[in-house]
Amino acid sequence: MKYLCLAYEEESKLNGLSESEWKVLRTETLTYVDELKNGGYLIAAEPLQSVRTAATVRVRNGKVTITDGPFAETKETLGGFFLINAKDINEATQVAAKWPSARLGSIEVRPIEDGLKEDKRYA
């Protein structure tokens, strides 16, 4: 089964790391990405640019509204994602728990829906 792992982090925490701390975290992350690839877990992984570069789009009553930045006012913002194969949610959360930046933020793990349902979006 596929799981999307969303990595939330505080930009200020990451920006506050010393150069050596950042290099260690970056190396750990790239090493873990390689481990996941070699283990057959990883489908894709990408970092996102700063939340300051984001735009939130809404369409209400035919009117498009575009707002700079994210919708939610929160310290932790979406910093990147990794898409994995795992046998179940337990295995997926174990994989996510080893993601290095989970020590600084959080990883949301969500199963991928097998197609868009005809009757309703969520069960």
Task: Give a yes or no: residue 119 inside a domain.
Answer: no
Task: Give a yes or no: residue 12 inside a domain.
Answer: yes
More confident residue, 115 or 29: 29
Give pairs for 112-120: CB < 8 Å, separation 24+: 112/1, 112/2, 112/3, 112/4, 112/83
Predicted pLDDT at 82: 96
User: Of 74, 68, 69, 61, which is closest to residue 106 (Cα–Cα)?
Assistant: 74
Residue 46: domain span: 2-111
Task: Give a yes or no: residue 53 inside a domain.
Answer: yes
Query: How many structural domains compose the chain?
Result: 1
Phi-psi region of 63 (alpha: psi -120 to 50; beta: other; left: phi over 0): beta
d(CA 32, CA 46): 13
pLDDT of residue 14 exceeding 70: yes
User: Of 9, 8, 5, 77, which is closest to residue 42 (Cα–Cα)?
Assistant: 5
pLDDT tens digits, residue range 50-95?
Answer: 888 888 888 999 999 988 876 666 788 889 999 999 999 999 999 9
Task: Give a yes or no: residue 121 inside a domain.
Answer: no
pLDDT tens digits, residue range 18-30?
Answer: 999 999 999 999 9
Task: Give a yes or no: residue 117 inside a domain.
Answer: no
Residue 35 belongs to a domain with what CATH number? 3.30.70.1060
